[in-house]
Amino acid sequence: MAPLVHHTDPDAFLAAAQPVLARSPESAAAFAAWTRGLKANPPPAQAPAYLATFAHGGSFGAALRRPDGPLVFEDSDPAAATAFAADLAARSPRLQGVVGALPACEAFARAWRERIGRRHALRCHLRHHMLTRVATVPRASGRPRLADSGDCDWLAESQFAFIVEAGVADHPERILAAIPKRVARGDFWIWDDGAPVSFAGWTGAGEAAARVAPVYTPPEARRQGYATALVAALAQALLAAGRRRLFLLTDVANPTSNAIYARVGFRPGTDIYHFDFVDPD
């Protein structure tokens, strides 16, 4: 069997990725959530997702990429990252970037520069967090509620603002297509204080787990405790519905969001890094 295997079925990819996913519950939840998203909103046939696993000599890897997005390989080994770089050099020479553990990112970047000539630049240092019990948080004016179809325009506008402010690699077209579907599934909650002032999304992340993302409060509504109260309410509802562990990802450089999630009860786990590939100066 070849060390690197391509997959077209997200479930088969997850099964083959188990040696990597077993290394941390955060990585397992992240890959489960991303593959769930691929099944719910599959990319066009002419631009399929990249799903690949690697196993050779005690080294393992799992990599996922939506069209035009970064390659995500979480806790993959450096040898696997090097193999993914060789595989993608001809397929996607304008690859946006990579997301994963630092040794794997550095191994991929070395191989990428040798093959493509592009260098890597740090976009952000990220940290996984996990919650099993919600802490008591201060009350905020207003109340939490499920988003409905009348909120789609506000959610789209707010999520566009979020990806710009956070520097998230996402595309407006994908967001516009996904929001009505996610609202219909009950994937978005809103804090309403006479009008929507904050939102939080979530998705299933494997057996009895969920991943919270994105979370955003427009600048004019901040410092009122809305996001803290909303994430606490959403987390409590998910736990009450049978989810035992909740996960989210933060930018280590953002003290506000990290403080919010710590107050709710999220505890830090593994770190990953997002590097962009840029042309030489």
Q: Is 275 in contact with 105 (CB distance < 8 Å)? A: yes
Specify whether 247 is located in the same domain as 231: yes
Domain boundaries, position 83:
4-127+274-278
Is the pLDDT score of 169 beyond 70? Answer: no
Specify whether 173 is located in the same domain as 231: yes
Specify whether 140 is located in the same domain as 259: yes
What letter represents residue 49's amino acid?
A
| 205 is a domain residue | yes
Cα(8)–Cα(5) distance, integer angstroms: 10
Percentage of the chain modeled with pLDDT above 70: 99
* 107-139 per-position pLDDT tens digit: 999 999 999 999 999 999 999 999 999 999 999
Specify whether 84 is located in the same domain as 144: no
Specify whether 95 is located in the same domain as 204: no
Specify whether 201 is located in the same domain as 91: no
Cα(241)–Cα(184) distance, integer angstroms: 18
Cα(204)–Cα(160) distance, integer angstroms: 23
Specify whether 59 is located in the same domain as 167: no
Percentage of the chain modeled with pLDDT above 90: 85
> What is the number of helices (H) and of strands (E) in the chain?
9, 12
| 269 is a domain residue | no
The predicted pLDDT at position 8 comes to 94
| 71 is a domain residue | yes
| 159 is a domain residue | yes
Specify whether 157 is located in the same domain as 207: yes
| 121 is a domain residue | yes
The predicted pLDDT at position 217 comes to 96
Please name the residues in contact with 209: beta carbons below 8 A apart, sequence gap of 6 or more.
25, 28, 29, 32, 243, 244, 245, 246, 247
Closest CA to 24 of 247, 275, 257: 247
Specify whether 85 is located in the same domain as 199: no
- Would you call 137 helix, strand, or coil by DSSP? coil
Better-scored residue on pLDDT, 77 or 90: 77
* 50-62 per-position pLDDT tens digit: 999 999 999 999 9
Specify whether 235 is located in the same domain as 174: yes
Cα(220)–Cα(209) distance, integer angstroms: 33
Specify whether 20 is located in the same domain as 67: yes
Specify whether 118 is located in the same domain as 185: no
Q: Is 52 in contact with 87 (CB distance < 8 Å)? A: yes
Please name the residues in contact with 136: beta carbons below 8 A apart, sequence gap of 6 or more.
none
Locate all alpha helices (DSSP H) within 51-193, ordered by sequence: 78-91, 102-116, 152-166, 172-185
Q: Residue 157 maps to which CATH number?
A: 3.40.630.30
> What value does the mean pLDDT take over residues 64-78?
94
* 231-273 per-position pLDDT tens digit: 999 999 999 999 999 999 999 999 989 999 999 999 999 999 9
| 166 is a domain residue | yes
The predicted pLDDT at position 165 comes to 86
| 198 is a domain residue | yes
* 193-229 per-position pLDDT tens digit: 999 999 999 999 988 999 999 999 999 999 999 999 9
Q: State how many domains the chain has.
A: 2
| 254 is a domain residue | yes
Mean residue pLDDT across the chain: 94
